[in-house]
Structure 1
Amino acid sequence: MTAVAQQRREMFWQIVRYGVNGGIVTALYSAVLVVLDSWSHLPLQICNIAGYLAAVTLGYVLHSRVTFRNHGKRDRASKIRFVLASIPSLALNAFWAWLLTEALKLPHWTLYVPIWFVTPALLFVLNRWWVFR
């Protein structure tokens, strides 16, 4: 197998692993958000932060050990980069929450569409080419 074919194969499997692990992380985020939003009646942005904290913790473990296991380093700098790279996801999900539920007055369930399909794509790019370089 050529080097290019091997790189493409590894990238394909990283994307597959990212999809599975990202789904688990996003499910945890969503579960925390739904439970707090539904039962505690805290402001939606506080629920977003709580979901983010749970997701970023699990996300580092899964992505560093599984998704990008054969790619880049695992050191203090990569942990710092991971947290820094996750901040845009917090901001983006906060934006979705504001736009869809506050500005457009849509039901809270609508914010899960971009949370599940837009935010993870951004995070893959940041993780692949910056965090685990």
Structure 2
Amino acid sequence: MVILFDQYNLPEDIFKIIFATEQQEIVAKMLLRYMWQNSGEIGKTEMGVFAARLDAGEAVIQEKGKSPLQPEMKLSYNKKQFYDRILTPMRGMGMIEYDLYKKTYRVSDRFNKMMIKVGLMWLRELEKKGKG
């Protein structure tokens, strides 16, 4: 996945930097919230159920309020697109990791480590060009 950003207009929300659409941001936030509610780790089956609920349009993004003007809001997101555009990129960037032995997904700090590595690679490139 390619991350392009403007250093002078950097959003406060990491999801606005990583995902292209608002709907993708919402789904990614829902996934992380769901994982945090389960101690930061969910099984392969639970991930499938989460994706199926999104696909069926059963995922609630806003609870029903006390006023009739605040209806419950649900979100529908295609299951295949969830895996292709949300979960796979999050795994690839190190935000979520999959344990092959336990068959679980867990929230990871590898994304942060990779961003530090990218910064160090840039510093090395600057040093190489400065010497030559």
- Shorter-chain TM-score category? 0.3 to 0.5
TM-score, reference length from structure 1:
0.32
Q: Which has the higher strand share?
A: 2
* Structure of higher CA gyration radius: 2
Q: Which has the higher contact order (CA 8 A, sep 6+)?
A: 1
TM-score, reference length from structure 2:
0.32
